[in-house]
Amino acid sequence: MNIFLPGTFDTKGGEFAFLKSMLEKQGINCICADAGVLSAPLLIPDITREKVYAAGGTSLHKVLAEKDRGKAIESAARGLTSIAMELFNQGKIQGVLGMGGSAGTTLGTSVMRALPFGIPKIMVSTLASGQVRPFVGVKDITMMHSVVDISGLNRISIKVLANAAHAMVGMLNAPPIQTSQEKTLLAATMFGVTTPCVEVGRSILEQSGNEVLVFHATGTGGMTMESFIRDGLIKGVLDITTTELADELVGGILSAGNDRLTAAGIMGIPQVISVGALDMVNFGPIATVPEKFRNRRLYAHNSNVTLMRTTPEENKLLGREIALKANASKGAKCLLFPLRGVSALDASNQPFFWPEANQALRESLRQFLSPDVEYIELDMHINDVEFAKACADKLMSYLEV
């Protein structure tokens, strides 16, 4: 088996040589790619820095002349990623192992984020004990804290690097896990306030022989689902809970970005869309709610989560966004609208019950949806069993065609 070892071999050459030695003793071949610029490499690479920067759209000569560390790292990350993807597509690498501080972590994880789910990815980093979301993104990257700085070999760094090498060997040599590969893999989106609907829908779909991945609509959840769809893993989507769009529009903390609700349309897979939890935007503790929102309708979900009710004006914009994204879909699509409420908090005698806001959402959808998007209104609450059944049955009808 082969693994990809990307890094800067002028400053970390000794450490990479140690990793390479540990891996090769256990039968793992290393393809070493050097992105260093400060001095000659201490470890002779399989892929030179000249090739790395050329693959990144520039040249080593230009990088050295510009003396811009930030640009050099960006170019190296592009080059390493391009080379790694070419090797992976040719079946020449089965894993990636990186090491470094902020620059090395940026380089290594750029490669890892480009590779599909399931490929072993280990990053030994001085930053692994802090906020690693920018490095990990939505991929299955194992972040391993280096404990000490990666600056020479000592009793601590040797043990950490040896553990990383053994972990990679274990991942590569692990027996395959038996999964239900013959089942159609579907995705669903859920929030606490739409759980009853999604649980019923999931049960119906699974009883019909499908496997359903449920993604918690917390920003990362939506981004992960979109990534899985783009990777071709998902064959249909029960997108009940589109609440992340509200956070993106208004400025909440659980946004999944502008690309939310686009991957299924691009890939042409069937999707059933609803308006789950579009009545709310998410913030942290009450003290963290921006001052401009302090007079809005707020609800303390718990001590760490404050919810804010979306307004008719915001719902009008959300309806337009959902409609335009659904219109652009290349696959079968249907939007189901629950007339009696879009979340557990949006019901009679509940804190977010605001019929005028929901009506604005409804009217906007009806105005902007194209005729080729099937649109169904049901006189039900989103968490009614019959509404969940209608959503699941509609997706099933698309899958059976």
Q: What is the CB neighbour count within 10 angstroms for residue 2?
A: 17
What domains does the chain contain, in order, with CATH numbers? 2-173 (3.40.50.12020), 185-399 (3.40.50.12030)
Task: Lowest mean pLDDT of 32-36, 39-43, 176-180, 393-397, name the range.
Answer: 176-180
> 181 pLDDT exceeds 90?
no
Q: Give just the sign of the alpha carbon dihedral 233, 202, 199, 324.
A: positive
How many Å apart are CA 170 and CA 110, to the nearest integer? 23
How many Å apart are CA 231 and CA 226, to the nearest integer? 9
**Phi, psi (rounded to 5 degrees) for 168:** -65, -45
CA atoms in the 13 A half-sphere facing the CB of 51: 13
Tell me the pLDDT tens digit for each residue of 205-237.
999 999 999 999 999 999 999 999 998 999 999
> 278 pLDDT exceeds 80?
yes
Tell me the pLDDT tens digit for each residue of 11-20.
888 999 999 9
Q: Angle 312-327/355-368 helices, nearest 10 degrees?
A: 30
Tell me the pLDDT tens digit for each residue of 127-179.
999 999 899 999 999 999 999 998 889 999 999 999 999 999 999 999 887 76
pLDDT interval class at 180 (50, 70, 90): low
How many Å apart are CA 313 and CA 308, to the nearest integer? 14
User: Could you tell me what percent of the chain has a pLDDT over 90?
Assistant: 92
How many Å apart are CA 150 and CA 125, to the nearest integer? 8
Read off the DSSP letter of residue 12.
S
Spatial CA neighbour of 278 closest among 338, 238, 326: 338
DSSP 204-254: HHHHTT-EEEEEE-SSHHHHHHHHHHHTT--SEEEE---THHHHHHHT-S-
The pLDDT score that the predictor gives to residue 352 is: 98
Tell me the pLDDT tens digit for each residue of 21-38.
999 999 999 999 999 998
In this structure, are residues 183 and 235 in contact, taking their beta carbons and an 8 Å threshold?
no
Place of tokens 């090498």: 165
Q: What is the CB neighbour count within 10 angstroms for residue 332?
A: 21
Q: Say whether pTM exceeds 0.85.
A: no
The pLDDT score that the predictor gives to residue 177 is: 77
> How far out from the chain centre does Cα 313 lie?
29
What 3-state DSSP class applies to 135?
helix
Read off the DSSP letter of residue 307.
E
Amino acid at 281: V
The pLDDT score that the predictor gives to residue 400 is: 87
How many Å apart are CA 375 and CA 198, to the nearest integer? 19
In this structure, are residues 302 and 348 in contact, taking their beta carbons and an 8 Å threshold?
no
In this structure, are residues 125 and 105 in contact, taking their beta carbons and an 8 Å threshold?
yes
Tell me the pLDDT tens digit for each residue of 44-82.
999 999 999 999 999 999 999 998 989 999 999 999 999
